[in-house]
Amino acid sequence: MPTTATPSLPLRAAALVLAGLFATAGASHAAEYRFTAEPIYPPETAREMYAPLMTYLNKATGDTWTLVTPPNYSAYWRSLLDENVTDFAFEEAHFADYRITRAKYVPLVRVAGNTSYTLVADQQLEGAGLDGLLSKTVVTMPAPSLGYALLAGFYPDPVRSPTIASSANSWRDAVQIVFGGEAGAAIIPTWLKDTYPNLVTIRTSREFAAAGVLAAPGVPEEARQKLRTALLELGSQPELAELLLELGISRFVGAAAADYTGSSEVLSGFYGYKREGTP
């Protein structure tokens, strides 16, 4: 059976340390905000992974933060433009651009640098190329995750493509499925690929601006700025270093809508896609 990524012990320890530090830091007249994380982890795992960040934001902003954990990518995609679902979203470039252009979300910060996805395989398939996987199973997170969308772009002809298994519970889980012999290859974030020297590269996608945090158009400007400042200062919090590492984050930098322009086009082949300006 596929394995599910679980937080490391240092990450759990970080959550306990921060909870102890901030337990007495009450916030009178605190506002309440929902923070939705793209479902790159199952809900239970996501709650553990992001617990230190929520604790940090409660203290740093003086507001109350609730993590929203979508059950899967299908539910996430269906609710993407529903402003009643969340106040802030942390998501990859294609979703960010879609929210910005269709629902007027405001980008606040993004992970430093760019991101890409790499199709990887066991060392036995070194040099196989895309055609060498046609008889294989390639595992990915479900549609319309960025990895799935880019994998579909590698194989635009459905008749001439490998079997795509969208059964991974996380990108790390996809790697474990390959190691377990249940799939011949996987598409995963390139930063994650670089931590597995025993995987070989088949193809790497073009680059996108890294994942960003966006505010719904109805969120007050003061709340946006408090969150922006807190996230930009996150790198100076040693208690959260493990959280950043687990999420593939070096640090946050300022973000602008132009960082994501055009990224949502990879979603155009998925059911429910609306072109800009479509009611």
Q: What is the predicted pLDDT for the residue at 1? A: 37
Q: Is 127 a member of any domain?
A: yes
Does residue 188 share a domain with residue 131?
Answer: yes
In angstroms, rounded to a whole number, what is the distance separating the alpha carbons of residues 102 and 22? 38
In this structure, is residue 1 part of a structural domain?
A: no
Q: Which of these three, 172, 204, 236, is where a domain ends?
A: 204
Boundary of a domain, candidates 204, 229, 249: 204
Amino acid 236: pLDDT: 80
User: Is 13 found in the same domain as 110?
Assistant: yes
pLDDT in tens, the chain (279 residues): 334 445 555 555 555 555 555 544 444 468 999 999 999 999 999 999 999 899 999 999 999 999 999 999 999 999 999 989 999 999 999 999 999 999 999 999 999 999 999 999 999 999 999 999 999 999 999 999 999 999 999 999 989 999 999 999 999 999 999 999 999 999 999 999 999 999 999 999 999 999 999 999 999 999 999 999 999 998 787 877 777 877 778 899 999 999 999 999 999 999 999 988 665
**Within a domain: residue 188?**
yes
Given 185, 204, 223, the domain boundary residue is 204
Q: Facing residues of 90 across strands?
A: 37, 213
Q: What is the CATH number of the domain that holds 34?
A: 3.40.190.10
Tally the domains of the chain: 2
Same domain, 136 and 243: no
C-beta of residue 46 within 8 angstroms of C-beta of residue 80:
no
215 and 89 belong to one structural domain: yes
Q: Is residue 279 part of a domain?
A: no
Are 110 and 181 contained in the same domain? no
Task: Clarify whether residues 123 and 99 are in a common domain.
Answer: no
**Number of Cα atoms under 13 Å in the Cβ half of residue 211:** 21
Per-residue pLDDT, 12? 57
**Cα distances (Å, whole numbers) of residue 275 to 99, 145, 177, 181, 265:** 12, 18, 35, 40, 9
**Residue 167 counted as domain residue:** yes
Residue 92 sits in the same domain as residue 60:
yes
Beta-strand pair 114-115/208-209: antiparallel
Q: What tokens does 23 get?
A: 């337990």
Q: Write out the E strands in the chain.
A: 32-37, 64-68, 88-91, 106-111, 114-115, 117-122, 137-139, 163-165, 185-189, 199-204, 208-209, 212-215, 252-254
3-state secondary structure of 151: helix
Residues 103 and 15 in one domain: yes
So what's the pLDDT on residue 265? 97
Answer whether residue 142 is part of any domain.
yes
In a domain, 244, yes or no: yes
Answer yes or no: do 89 and 122 share one domain. Answer: no
Q: Are residues 224 and 243 in the same domain?
A: yes
The pLDDT of residue 64 is 97
User: Which residue is it, tokens 């680059």?
Assistant: 207
Q: What pLDDT does 159 receive? A: 92
The boundaries of the domain holding residue 186 are 117-204
On whether both 136 and 250 belong to a single domain, the answer is no
Same domain, 101 and 222: yes
CA separation (Å) from 69 to 50, 85, 89, 133? 10, 11, 11, 34
pTM value surpassing 0.85: yes
The residue ranges of DSSP E strands in 166-251, in sequence order, are 185-189, 199-204, 208-209, 212-215
How confident is the model at residue 26, as a pLDDT?
44
| pLDDT at residue 237 in the model | 77
Residue 25 lies in a domain: no
